[in-house]
Amino acid sequence: MNQESVVHEDLSGDHAGIRIVRITRPAVRNALNLATKAVLVQELSDADADANVRAVVLTGDAGVFVAGTDLKEMFTFRPTDHLTYEPGRVFSVLDTLGTPVIAAVEGYALGGGCELAMACDLVVAGASAKFGQPEIRVGLIPGAGGLSRLVQRAGRARALRMVLTGEPVDAMTAQQLGIVSDVVADGATTEAAIAIAATIVKQPPLSIRSIRAVARHAENAPLATAIELERTSFQLLFDTADHSEGIAAFLDKRTPTYEGK
């Protein structure tokens, strides 16, 4: 396994609590192979288990996020290989993390790269970034949530427009479709994602995790069920030290100090 296919950096100073996870396979435009996905699973799991990491920025290298899945490796795949190697595990791991993950997308986010971005909590895109699910052009369909997430966010007709044609969309269109949260100048996505993360890490950790969990369930559950989970989570947070600290700091007109308790 090539450990250098994914590297991480913990920021310090004003940006303490933020970990940058970078996919580094520039020779193949950061295409995802099994080894890279396995390292990503480990990196994301390690970040989530580290109490000092409060937010993750996931990005690519050399002006590209992820141009897709490594087709040379996939060419030899059979159905049982998917069961054996679990190539979709990185996407399910992203769904279950408690730590928010912000994708910083430059260049291409295609196929598995688009699915990876959509599995994150927020997506910051460069103005000329392209998002797409071109699997139909190689006799496949999206297999890691690309079609399903698009239908949820963009609606059936607009999702099918992308997936049936395989044509990518630009960053502004992706924002209109609900794929992208922020569009910034090319080359500024990591900086912008760090700025968002820096705001998030100042908030109470238990509230962050609760918000992330409720939002994930709200995507799939009936509205009444989602609201019930939201209300229960809201009520439980009244018993936390961070809630008491937040109220006290507000009344005292000072900056709160949250400890995740």
DSSP assignment letter at 27: G
DSSP assignment letter at 7: E
Q: State residue 3's pLDDT score.
A: 54
Dist CA 60 CA 76 (whole Å): 26
Q: State residue 2's pLDDT score.
A: 46
User: Is 21:6 a contact under the CB 8 Å cutoff?
Assistant: yes
Can you list the residues of the chain whose pLDDT is less than 50?
A: 1-2
CATH code given to domain 205-252:
1.10.12
pLDDT in tens, 90-132: 999 999 999 999 999 999 999 999 999 999 999 999 999 999 9
User: Is 113:93 a contact under the CB 8 Å cutoff?
Assistant: no
Fold held by 3-200: 2-enoyl-CoA Hydratase; Chain A, domain 1 (3.90.226)
Q: State residue 58's pLDDT score.
A: 98
Q: State residue 87's pLDDT score.
A: 78
Q: Taking phi first (over 0 means left), then psi (-120 to 50 degrees means alpha), and beta for anything else, what does residue 125 get?
A: beta
Q: State residue 184's pLDDT score.
A: 98
SS3 (DSSP) at 250: helix
Helix (H) or strand (E) run with residue 91 in it: helix 89-96
CA angle 227, 233, 234 (to 5 degrees): 85
User: Is 208:100 a contact under the CB 8 Å cutoff?
Assistant: yes
Q: State residue 88's pLDDT score.
A: 87
Dist CA 25 CA 64 (whole Å): 10
Q: State residue 141's pLDDT score.
A: 95
* Positions marked active-site: 115, 135
Q: Where are the domains of the chain?
A: 3-200, 205-252
DSSP string for 203-220: S-HHHHHHHHHHHHHHHH
Residue 116 backbone phi and psi in degrees, to 5: -65, -45
Q: Nearest to residue 158, comparing CAs of 171, 147, 142?
A: 147
Q: State residue 201's pLDDT score.
A: 96
Does the pTM surpass 0.85? The reply is yes
Q: Residue 93, CB half-sphere, CA atoms under 13 Å: how many?
A: 19
